[in-house]
Structure 1
Amino acid sequence: MEQHHEGQNNLSTAQTPIAALVARARAAQRIFETWSQAQVDLAVVAAGWAIIEPARNRELAEMAVADTGVGNVEDKVRKNHRKTFGLLRDLRGARSVGVIAEDPARGLVEIARPVGVVCAITPSTNPGATPANKIINALKGRNAVIVAPSPKGWSTAARLIEFIHAQLDRIGAPRDLVQLLPAPVNKQATAELMRLCDLVVATGSQANVRAAYASGTPAFGVGAGNVAGIVDETADVTLAAERIVRSKTFDNATSCSSENSLVVVDAVRAALLAALEARGAVLLDAAQKATLQALMWPEGKLSAAVIGKSARVIAERAATLDAAGRDAWLAIAQRNPRILMVAEDGVGHDHPFSGEKLSPVLAIYAARDFDEAALIVDRIYAYEGAGHSVGLHSARPERALQLGLTLPVSRVIVDQAHCIATGGSFDNGLPFSLSMGCGTWGKNNFSDNMNYRHYLNITRVSRPIPERMPSEHEIFGEFFDQFGAP
């Protein structure tokens, strides 16, 4: 039996509603940890089917948009299906119970152990897909999980968990393996939940991530998004434009993996802008850029008036702020634009378009050549977005390696629709995930796409092997040859 934070459930906390949730989760988890790999995998598939079944998927997508006002239904349907189905593919056949690896030559055996009760902090941008992803990964490790959603996403998460409970009932799994923080969700309740659980996995605002790291409980949190993409002089601009538009428009750019800036080498700037405009992007003039900035950051903070809204809605709202330019804005809106683009050359607080926008608004930077483009991205990430990822559209593969060696990024996404590729795709090798670690650059303790192994403790059995001790010459020979022996 796994032993965890039992000592924390003292008389002062044992009767609180949050402590009662955790106690029920522990009881369910103690049952679940006795299950075989085949039984656990059945629970994983059951939880996946709870969200993938088409009617349930659509209901959750419609609820998410209605309750949060963020994103669009069709893309959320696609996201709920694709991300969950891809995760189930990744988990199929993966060992997470008992002995998971043996290395006779090194005398080592690895044994998977559950972490216990997981606190899953989830954002309003993905109130169905992100909780489902964390629940499935937690179950794969024989853990219980309690979801702490954003207040706006609570009803969607609650409906998702109703669906999961119905599927757990079918296979005889305890419902208390998957629970929800009761409404109204607040900082105090979330903090207590984080303190009482055994692991916190936090996705969402940086305030949530910092709170998770400060909770006293081991935590995985993710860094800020603010992806930049580079289009160099060798890129196929038609393909690049198609990928960029597909990525930037998906779910109204609510993903942390959506491009927020494009750095375009001068030699292809005109051709790329023409290709983007042919696919529904609109380049604003300086006056329109100023109006859009006033709409998006009215008090220096990104406004809910634009987060997850379509480019058309944003243009219509900008029209209400700009009496002189109202007709031009309405003309833009009538074209049903897909992306609003602004030319930018500055970076930092005084240039808010250089930061994350969570909307189909794209800053366009100019660069003389690839090296300058990389320097501009480095400046952007020094302001916001370090550690996440960078996009590259190029016919020169060595440039991807150069970015990976020099930029503060955990992923270099080459010739792909960035927001679809970063969290795993059926045509790349990254694990399917909705939580991307950003390394120490992004103030995180991991740089992987979060996956089921992050929800495991691993015990190692070590047996003696024939001694393999090197000679001093093997260790110090080259050093002594170059600098002399002492």
Structure 2
Amino acid sequence: MNSRAFGAIVPPADRHADALAQDVDAQVAALVARARAAQRDFASAGQQTLDMAASAAAWAIMEPLRNRQLAELAVRDTGLGNVDDKFQKNFRKTLGLLRDLHGRKTHGVIAQDTQKGVVEIARPVGVVAAITPSTNPAATPANKIINALKCGNAVIVAPSPKGHSACALLLDFIHAELVKAGLSPDLVQMLPTPITKAATAALMRQADLVVATGSQSNVRMAYTSGTPAFGVGAGNVASIVTASADLRDAAAKIARSKTFDNATSCSSENSVVIESVVYDAMIDALRAAGGVLLDASQKRALQDVMWVDGKLASRCTAKAAPTIAQLAGLDDVAAQQSAFLMVEESGIGADHPFSGEKLSPVLTVYRARDFADAAALVDQIYAYMGAGHSVGLHGADPAQAVTLAETLPVARVIVNQAHCFATGGNFDNGLPFSLSMGCGTWGKNNFTDNLGFRQYLNVTRVAFPIAAAVPEVDELLGDYFGRVGR
């Protein structure tokens, strides 16, 4: 029974908590009100204005001097990744998004089907709450902001506490570009510091749409906020290396993907499953590509430092391999200055933490009897963690890629590519550029696409009358009747 309903005295601590909650709600409501006011005029300004706003936000992060500042600040304040790779990520991901958006209609009539008599009209969703992670404190907010503006929306970013400084600097740059373009800076805002769960939750409740990337707790909070939401699943990517693979090429691509930005990407390989007939040769190729294979005692030392009470330790997240080796007391390994560490594993699940996501340049290696066994191992890995995301395949048989797509719980199969670049879109494949990958119902998501501009649009359909076309029953059920009778 709620005693407050009967006028009972409210303890001072509860009164204080209520006052704080009301204050947070009021602060967020003020941001949302400004966003709504700016968005109302912006939404009706036409395609050219929407395109200009998206371009302004893109150039704000792509311009080299500003990009370098953002990359340096992100690494300094989050302690995650490295500056050169973040600089490259900020530029390439934004350039790729601009490519995908170029010439796309997101205002007014966007499609007409004269045969069906249907006209489709793009409508903005309103105010978008963009929940962003510390791993990409500039690139991910920029991606969401550009998509939101392209579709006529305003956006309010809820950055991670560690990433708020980089996000704030990004917004300073975006505001300067918006002003140059004659547009309101209130179209793009962020929660004030300190960033709290209460403020993030309030934003989710008050916005019109939530797009959440980052921790699964944030994604779950988005789904339970009462506001329509797109969230992403957990990463734990595995790649299969088959007997027909170009081993040197596969090893180079896996190494490049595993080490980029110290494996901050959820699309970076966490495991590689190798067919037995090429296992030793592939291990040699991975060594040649910069990896070092730990022995059993070294593996135990690494596990002890990477997981504390069953949880991944932040001290190892997105750090360089020699740093992680040094933290584990493996000074001889650290001295080798290897690009990534490898551990052999046969088990899967909580008792075998190397089978899960590591967010560091540490690669788990499994031996499989053949392709079928490799696919079964990946299926077991994803039953533990990472279902819905994607799988890599290195080999010469396209039919095997189709088999994986038909049987594994994945939204993407990445063939003969560096996984962390390819799965979020790249210039040498046809996937849309994004930093947020839907994982479908396998990953507790409501979509399997790379999050893109379509998720930021409502579509209104106008239906005109057409000549009636009523089919005969036998035309549709004739095959059924022929097989089983009427």
Q: TM-score range by the shorter chain?
A: over 0.9
TM-score by length of 1: 0.95
RMSD after superposition: 0.9
The Cα of 1:229 is off from its aligned counterpart by 0.3
Q: Within 5 A, what are the aligned runs for 1:221-370?
A: 221-319=231-329, 329-370=330-371
Q: Which residue of 2 aligns with 1:386?
A: 387
Contact 1:47 1:132 in 2 (8 A): yes
- Counterpart Cα distance in 1 of 2:122 and 2:44: 12
The Cα of 1:147 is off from its aligned counterpart by 0.2
CA deviations 1:52-99 (Å, max 9, x no partner) are 000000000000000000000000000000000000111010000000
- Counterpart Cα distance in 1 of 2:341 and 2:327: 13
- Comparing 468-477 and 253-262, the one that deviates more: 468-477
One-letter amino acid matched to 2:445: N
SS at the partner of 2:405?
A: helix
- Counterpart Cα distance in 2 of 1:304 and 1:15: 31
CA deviations 1:164-207 (Å, max 9, x no partner) are 00000001111000001000011111111100000000000000
SS at the partner of 2:39?
A: helix
Q: Within 5 A, what are the aligned runs for 1:114-193?
A: 114-193=124-203
SS at the partner of 1:271?
A: helix
Q: Which residue of 1 aligns with 2:72?
A: 62
Q: Which residue of 2 aligns with 1:325?
A: none
Q: Which residue of 2 aligns with 1:469?
A: 470
SS at the partner of 1:210?
A: helix
CA deviations 1:430-459 (Å, max 9, x no partner) are 000000000000000000000001000000
Q: Which residue of 2 aligns with 1:448?
A: 449
The Cα of 1:280 is off from its aligned counterpart by 1.1
SS at the partner of 1:77?
A: helix
The Cα of 1:470 is off from its aligned counterpart by 1.0
SS at the partner of 1:403?
A: helix
One-letter amino acid matched to 2:45: W
Which runs of no fewer than 5 residues in structure 1 stay unpaired? 1-11, 320-328
- Runs of 4+ in structure 1 off by over 2 angstroms are 12-15
Q: Which residue of 2 aligns with 1:326?
A: none
Contact 2:24 2:199 in 1 (8 A): no
SS at the partner of 2:328?
A: helix
CA deviations 1:130-188 (Å, max 9, x no partner) are 00000000001100000000000000000000000000000111100000100001111
Number of positions where the alignment pairs a residue of Structure 1 with one of Structure 2: 465
Q: Which residue of 2 aligns with 1:438?
A: 439
SS at the partner of 1:201?
A: strand
Contact 2:204 2:227 in 1 (8 A): yes
- Counterpart Cα distance in 2 of 1:336 and 1:55: 30
Taking a change above 3 Å as real, the CA distance of residues 279 and 139 of structure 1, as seen in their structure-2 partners, is: same
Contact 2:60 2:177 in 1 (8 A): yes
Taking a change above 3 Å as real, the CA distance of residues 14 and 282 of structure 1, as seen in their structure-2 partners, is: closer
One-letter amino acid matched to 2:240: I
- Counterpart Cα distance in 2 of 1:447 and 1:468: 34
The Cα of 1:331 is off from its aligned counterpart by 2.1
> Between the two proteins, what is the percent identity of the paired residues?
64
The Cα of 1:365 is off from its aligned counterpart by 0.3
- Counterpart Cα distance in 2 of 1:147 and 1:467: 49
CA deviations 1:194-223 (Å, max 9, x no partner) are 000000000000000000000000000000
Contact 1:264 1:367 in 2 (8 A): yes
The Cα of 1:332 is off from its aligned counterpart by 1.5
TM-score by length of 2: 0.95
SS at the partner of 1:223?
A: coil
The Cα of 1:36 is off from its aligned counterpart by 1.1
CA deviations 1:15-63 (Å, max 9, x no partner) are 8111000000000000101111111111111110000000000000000
The Cα of 1:14 is off from its aligned counterpart by 10
- Counterpart Cα distance in 2 of 1:274 and 1:482: 57
Contact 1:14 1:20 in 2 (8 A): no
Q: Which residue of 1 aligns with 2:402?
A: 401
Contact 1:343 1:363 in 2 (8 A): yes
Q: Which residue of 2 aligns with 1:372?
A: 373
